[in-house]
Structure 1
Amino acid sequence: MATPPPFLNSNNPNPLTQASSRLPEDTVIYSIYPDNPLSQDALQSLHLQILNAVSPFTTSYIWQHEPFTLSIALHPFPHLKGHLRFGDNLNDEWFTVFLLFRVSVAFPSVSIQVHDSDGEFLLIEAAYHLPRWLNPENSQNRAFIRRGKLHIIPQSALPNPTLTESLNFLIENEQAAVAPDSVQYVIQNRIAGYPEKAKLNTHSVRVRVPVSVARVFKHAPSLISLAVEGFYDRDMDSMKHAAKMERFLKGRKGGEEEMVTVTVKMSRAMYAQLMQQRFQAPKCYPMPAKKGDLEAELGMKIACGLEMMYLEKKKEGEEGKGSGWKKYKESLEKSGYFKGLVPGSNEYTRLMENAEEYYKNSSLFSKTREMLNAPVRQIDEILSLPYSADEFKNEDAPPSDDDSWLYSGEDELNSALQDRQKEIELYELKREKKKSKEQKDTGASSSLKGEDFDLSELVKTMQGFMHKMSSYEGAEVHNDRDPKEVELDVERFMKDVESVMKYQGDENVTRDMDDDGGSSDMDFDESEDGSDMSDHEDGEDSFMHSYSDVMNNELKSTTLKKSFVHANEQTSVKNELCREHRMQQRIWMKSLVQWMWMSTLLKTFLTPLLVNKDFLVQLPICLG
């Protein structure tokens, strides 16, 4: 057995593993996890049951590149997995999603995970309806299909879920993970119409082809996908095979094959690929003298594509150098295996031979050969039995389907764009409504805070600032704080000022009402016995007592307290004293606001000087 390339060690991953795990673009990957651990025999039985369940939907369906398949996987634990390359045909991807939803209904004790080369495409489809916390960074191991519904593992339950944690959560708390109805609606709307929609995606076309090609498609109609792929992805090397047409045009006895007219089924995407490319018929291929024969032209493209595909896969199968070898070689180059050597040099050739020998002894090589040889063996088996053109001459080939859809796709595209635009507009409308509601709630909260403004807290804060001891170096700050930093919460300061001014404005309104003798809609109605007025006056006396006590407590260290008079000291001149009380309160509040502004200015502009140790030097300059 060949030794591995010398660069492989415990720190460098095996390029064979990287090559086998790397999938091409436009590929959908799916995994089916049973709730309970299954033995390999039980897993094999589940595998067959699932394939039998989906076979009624897939039997007559023409896949773009690969059919829906499943295989047994043992890592990280026994489950079923599969992948399907859909290429230019997105219907294949969504038809696969439809099949997976049907599987989840038929087998309720499984959880299904599906994604493609773009990521979690189910979440992408429902992006405008997802919870706000969900984003591509935290979406891994969160989206699962179960019992016919999409499930999303909540972040509150599992912030960073592993696959095992997510599967256990689905088993134990399935209802807590069910996605919102709006998300379910978007996904179900996307797969609505299947499997009937899959049949509408099929296009039948009448073509004129060699009898060998007609026989292949009669017994293996799914090979049309490989034939179209061989034509559409052709290169200079493969076109050399089409120039000779040795396999499908040359008869078994050396003569040319007869041409027959048959009807071939394909997807609409395949038909579009054949129609959009111009291709000159090989000189050896018989074409009618009349130009513009669509049946002959399409038949020629299909026959040439089948020829190129057959010989390319046969060559790659013999060498075992399909896409797996190309990825393996790319991994070697990226890993620095060839050491920057010039291709063709002796050392480069030696390293290449060593890598090829190692690759041929790997399991990837045998799997690649088997995969590449599968269609070749199938075609050889079909053509190994006797056949002739007579079996097709008696068959009535129906005419081609109407292909007006190929030229009227603009309307369908515009309709899809309009639907998406409506979805975006609805999302923006909901977002604006929510934003407006939040702003209203914030405004109400700010107003409530203003109404609950505590004047005593403001006084305590200002007194604490003014009474704080300072050294000769200026205002003292904590050691872990930047001495040059001056923090001023402007928003809080302005709210406090507005609250003070609001109280002042309310007092002005009250004074004007008292002076003018006016009334307000909020005033109490006087009853005949004066009971309502008496209750109101008692309430006012109680309020004035408590308010006066608070003011005296705040001003007990000042001489301003002496200017206030309790309401119960001279009841005969109550109204006059209240007016004086309010007037003195307004004067005090005005002084307080001015004091606040002056303190803020001093703190903002003088603190950088006061905290500087060179204050004694700078002070004369500032004063000068």
Structure 2
Amino acid sequence: MERVSMSFVEYKIFPTQPSQDCLTLMAECLKVCQPFLHKYIWHMEPFRLKPVQEEHLYGKVYVGDNVEDEWFIISLLKYLSYQLPDSIVIRVLDEDGEILLIEAADHLPSWAQEPDLAEKRVYLYQGQVHLIPISDRPSSLTPLPSGVPREGDAVKTIVAFSHITRASPEVQECIDRRLGSYPRDWSSELHYCHLVVPKVIAHVLRESPQLISPAIQKLHDLDPQDSRMIQKMERFPQGPEKDLVTVGMGIPRCLYAMLSGSKIFPYKKSDWTLPGAEDAQFKAKYHGFKVAAGLEVMTSTQRNISHRSANDPAFDKFLKALNSLDYFQGLLPGSKEYEQFKGKARDFYRQDHPCDEIELENTPLYSTLFTHALATFDPSTPMKPEDVALKPADSDNWLDINPNVLDDLLAQRFLSKSRNDGTNISDLEHFLQESSDMKGVEGSRLTQGTKTNEGGISFDSNLFESALDKVLGMNLDSTDHSDSDDSESEREHDANEDDMRAYFEALEDQLKESNVTSDDLDLSVMKNLLSSLENQEGFQGPTNTLINSMLKESS
């Protein structure tokens, strides 16, 4: 899978004491993070760490299309710096640079908004964001590093002068708001759905829900050999209808959108069939087939990778460090629970494989989970109570985003109070329908609940009247005509103008005989313009093009 252009998050964990052993530090990090790691469903790759030249721990995770993985990892790192307050200082980056500064850009000092000046100056320490300031003048005597500091010097500065480097409360609040309930709770990012699948797949998903990620990813990275596997579905046939089970599970929204967007269907060569689209279980069976197809491809591409932890003195040292930290919670060596904890530690230790050299499903975590799930399947095992009484599936209407919903999402994301500075088309239509007197419009919603400035509304009546005249076609007395040497064209122009003048004179005579006034026409035209503008739903269209051209010609 090509990862060169994919989004990623990169991080370094620096020990505050140079003598601190990196493998022991890695063991401490695993113990702190493990409660959040064992159930989280990664979009692509899992959280990883590895020692680098006994100087620091390093990790790089490709997050693909799901930026929430990036912020979940940032929340883990922030939590680590809080739980190990005097032991570590952390730097985190993504493909755009200093991600923490980018997120808090509206609350930074002016100098920190320059990427070159802020490079290697933002870190996590003791659960907070730290920003190493620069001196006001180059000649100032200060213990703070100048230019682009070395990471080791930056770490020492933060530890020694944390009261100076701690970022402002506004920056802290901005980052905390973006992290939300991470890493303790990420349920808001899950979409609960039903999947109708064979029992073996139900067992795989029940034992290792993280495998839903590589299964869905494979659907978007199919080659001709993968397609031939899906045509036959030999490893995961559908089987008799009575042997199918309905599984309910929460899938990250980004993955669910990918699953819904995949358009593969069963081939005649396989025994998989789907009901009609009107069937109540069509979506559950269709999604179940696609997950089965992804797992089918995984079985063909999965291969054994070297177990670097076997007979590895460094891994033995890592296990000893975990044991001293009570990672195994007093479990007896050799017991089932002990081996499960040891397996998780082994997978975490082995995650430093170059992620762009192996397929996603062959990363240590997914490879181990898939192998174990298939090996432990027992078709005689009865269904669990939670698989019998399923709660209703979530609505997936959020997949269909209209412009109004998008505006609301942007408003929530960027803390905008309302669209168009609090004034929208419906308010303007209401304004046109209000009664007025010498003091202005009474009871207008445009002024209710808002505080107007002392200068009132700035309104160019001549410009507005000129624009309306052009819409109404009443600007017929203008003498601003371009000269032409072609007398025939002038005569045609005069004739057309005479025809238009005669047409409007006849129209005016008809209006005099009716109860329709010029004000009624103006109001009707304005309402039609507003209605057309609203129907464009914020997109470019003929109405705003017409209005813009009128305003330009009138100015």
TM-score for the superposition, normalised by structure 1 = 0.51
Q: Which of 210, 223, 228 matches 1:222?
A: 210
Give secondary structure in 2 for the equivalent of 1:263. strand
Q: Is the 8 A contact 2:355 2:363 kept in 1?
A: no
Q: Whole-Å Cα distance in 2 between the matches of residues 381 and 257 of structure 1?
A: 26
After TM superposition, give the deviation of residue 112 of structure 1 in Å: 0.6
Cα deviation code 1:292-315 (max 9, x no counterpart) = 41111000011111112332343x
Summarize the alignment of residues 396-435 of structure 1 with structure 2, pairs less than 5 Å apart.
Answer: 396=388, 398=390, 399-407=392-400, 413-418=406-411
Paired residue type of 1:126 = A
Corresponding position of 1:132? 110
Confirm or deny that 1:25 pairs with 2:6.
Answer: yes
Q: Which residue of 2 aligns with 1:297?
A: 286
Say which of 211, 227, 233 aligns to 1:245. Answer: 233
Q: Does 1:382 align with 2:409?
A: no
Secondary structure of residue in 2 paired with 1:133? helix
Query: Offset at 1:317?
Result: 6.2
Displacement of 1:386:
5.3
Query: Contact 1:231–1:306 (CA<8 Å) still a contact in 2?
Result: no
| Residues 271 and 285 of structure 1, relative CA distance in 2, 3 Å threshold | farther
Q: Are the aligned partners of 1:128 and 1:423 in contact in 2 as well (CA < 8 Å)?
A: no
Among residues 30, 39, 42, which one is paired with 1:60 in the alignment?
39
Q: Per-residue deviation at 1:183?
A: 2.0
Q: 1:178-257 residue pairs with structure 2 within 5 A? A: 178-195=166-183, 198-249=186-237
In structure 2, how many angstroms separate the alpha carbons of the residues matched to 1:365 and 1:56?
A: 24
Structure 1: 5+ residue stretches without partners: 1-18, 319-362, 426-624
Q: Is the 8 A contact 2:204 2:370 kept in 1?
A: yes
| Aligned partners of 1:212 and 1:383 also within 8 Å | yes
Contact 1:211 1:389 in 2 (8 A): no
**1:52–1:393 CA distance, 2 compared to 1 (3 A):** closer
Query: Which runs of structure 2 are paired with 1:344-363 in the superposition (5 Å)?
Result: none
Alignment of 1:268 with 2:257, yes or no, is no
Match of 1:105 among 82, 103, 110: 82
Say which of 18, 26, 30 aligns to 1:51: 30
Q: CA deviation at 1:200?
A: 1.4
Partner of residue 58 from structure 2, selected from 61, 75, 81? 81
In structure 2, give the amino acid aligned to 1:221: P
Q: How does 1:390-539 map to 2 (within 5 A)?
A: 391-392=382-383, 395-396=387-388, 398=390, 399-407=392-400, 413-418=406-411
- Distance in 1 between residues matched to 2:39 and 2:275, nearest whole Å: 36
| Residues 1:53 and 1:174: Cα distance change in structure 2 (over 3 Å) | same
The range that moved more, 230-239 or 375-384, is 375-384
1:163 and 2:151 are equivalent in the alignment: yes
Are the counterparts in 1 of residues 13 and 57 from structure 2 also a CA contact under 8 Å? yes
- Give distance in 2, aligned partners of 1:256 and 1:207: 14
Structure 1 pair 287/168, CA: closer, same or farther in 2 (3 Å)?
same
Q: Please point out which of 62, 67, 82 is paired with 1:90.
A: 67
Q: CA RMSD in A?
A: 3.5
2:200 counterpart letter in structure 1: S
Cα distance between partner residues in 1 of 2:397 and 2:124: 37
CA contact (8 A) 2:207 2:373 kept: yes
Q: Provide the rounded CA distance (Å) in 1 between the counterparts of 2:354 and 2:400.
A: 44
Distance in 2 between residues matched to 1:401 and 1:27, nearest whole Å? 30
CA contact (8 A) 1:33 1:111 kept: yes
Residue of structure 1 in register with 2:265 after alignment? 280
Counterpart CA distance in 2 for 1:193 and 1:383 is 34
TM (norm. structure 2) is 0.57
1:110-129 alignment runs, 5 A limit: 110-129=88-107
**Could you say which structure has the higher helix fraction?**
1
What's the secondary structure of 2:22's corresponding residue? helix
How far off its partner does 1:78 sit? 2.1
Q: Is the 8 A contact 1:232 1:274 kept in 2?
A: no
Q: In the TM superposition, what whole-angstrom CA distance separates every residue of 1:366-410 from its partner, at most 9, and x where no partner exists? A: 984998264345433432345216533874051323334333576
State the distance in 2 between where 1:141 and 1:174 align.
16
The structural deviation recorded for 1:245 is: 1.7
CA distance in 1, matches of 2:190, 2:232: 31
Which deviates more from structure 2 when the two are superposed, residues 211-220 or residues 363-372?
A: 363-372
1:310 to 299, 306, 330: 299
CA shift for structure 1 position 419: 5.2
Change (3 A) 1:57 1:409: farther
CA distance in 2, matches of 1:274, 1:365: 23
What whole-Å deviation, never above 9, does each CA across 1:588-622 have from its counterpart, x for those lacking one? Answer: xxxxxxxxxxxxxxxxxxxxxxxxxxxxxxxxxxx
Q: How many residues align?
A: 354
- The CA deviation string for residues 148-198 of structure 1, in whole angstroms up to 9 with x for no partner, is 211112222322211122112112222221222322222122112334651
Residues 237 and 272, structure 2, Cα contact 8 Å, conserved in 1: no
For residues 397 and 235 of structure 1, do their structure 2 counterparts lie closer, same or farther at Cα, with a shift above 3 Å needed?
farther
1:209–1:26 Cα change, 3 Å: same
Q: CA–CA distance in 2 between the matches of 1:228 and 1:168?
A: 44
Q: 1:29 to 1:245 in 2, by over 3 A?
A: same
**Equivalent runs, 1:3-18 vs 2, <5 Å:** none
